[in-house]
Amino acid sequence: MQSFSEKTCVITGAGSGLGREFALLAAKLGMRLVLADVQQDALKQTEASVTALGADVLSHVCDVRRGDEVESLAQAAVKRFGAIHVVFNNAGVGAGGLIWESTQQDWEWVLGVNLWGVIHGVRVFTPLMLASAKADPNFEGHIINTASMAGLLTPPAMGIYNVSKHAVVALTETLYHDLSLIDAPIGVSVLCPYFVPTGISHSDSVRPSDTQATTQPTRSQQISQAMLEKAVSAGKVSAAEVAQITFDAIKAGQFYIYSHPQALGNVERRMQDILQAHNPSDPYEQAPKLREQLRAGLLES
């Protein structure tokens, strides 16, 4: 996709973090914006920021777990702007702890946002983009699904998050192949950021009432939360930098997008384990202090 100006871009999770930075950069590139988030106040703040940059913007409160709400978002976007050219299925939340300690509510919340949000985005927006391509021989589109390096690795005490992001990678790879099969003029990318300073470590603050935990956090969940907050806040690559990397990748037609390509050594080791039928290598091999910190916390009486 070579031109962004005057194209329409839909962004979920636009109220903060990566979504907000995607919106700011898209506005600077002259795009029309459809912004969605479950947090109305944060959404309004992003709307004000991109409006100040001269963008034509539509904001829509949307819980991406709900298919009907994503459909309403799409209907509003088409009614306002017509063709949709770029879709960021970006909304996401984080959760940790030993995998067997996660409750049904934990699973429903994280998979609802991280996986079902992407499923609904693909299910709803892809047919609209295909219809636009059929009507306009010059149509160019692109779909970007936000996964994580946790979609390519399996670090301990991050079970629900790992599962959700691995599923997003598989979904996105399949979408790429399916669109290629029918020669659709729609590019596809999967974004796999590592630790980037965003609000994901405070996801619990926006957890909906229907998925609230009925028990107190376990020790492993508390330790994982503290480690996540520290790792995210210490991230050296900013959300704005990831946004720029992502738009550059869209322009280049690049499928896999990494914020920290230096972390791919761990992915390579995992692939070798799979190919050689080895037991899984330690994902913290390059950062043994993290593993020891996690073990020490869990083994304390």
Domain assignment of residue 167, yes or no:
yes
Mean pLDDT, consecutive 10-residue stretches, the chain (301 aa), reads 94 97 98 97 97 98 98 98 98 94 95 98 98 97 97 94 98 98 98 88 78 85 86 85 98 97 93 97 81 84 44
Q: Are 139 and 185 in contact (CB under 8 A)?
A: yes
DSSP three-state, residue 245? helix
For residues 90-104, one letter each, b for 16 or more C-beta atoms within 10 angstroms of the residue's C-beta and e for the rest, the string is: bbbbbbbbbbebbbe
Quote the CA–CA distance of 72 and 90 in Å, as a whole number.
17
Confidence (pTM): 0.95
Structural domain containing residue 185? 8-299
pLDDT at residue number 301? 44
Provide the number of structural domains found in the chain.
1
pLDDT at residue number 292? 85
| CATH number for the domain harbouring residue 228 | 3.40.50.720
Domain assignment of residue 1, yes or no:
no
Quote the CA–CA distance of 98 and 225 in Å, as a whole number.
12
Domain assignment of residue 3, yes or no:
no
Where do the DSSP E strands lie in the chain? Answer: 8-12, 32-37, 57-61, 86-89, 141-146, 186-192, 256-258
φ, ψ (nearest 5 deg) of residue 91: -55, 135
Domain assignment of residue 172, yes or no:
yes
φ, ψ (nearest 5 deg) of residue 131: -65, -40
Residues annotated as part of the active site: 161
Residue 292, judged by CB atoms within 10 A of its CB (0-12, 13-18, 19+), counts as exposed
Helix (H) or strand (E) holding 174: helix 159-181
Using CA of residue 215, residue 219, residue 222, residue 225, what is the dihedral sign?
A: negative
Cβ-based neighbour number of residue 165 at 10 Å: 27
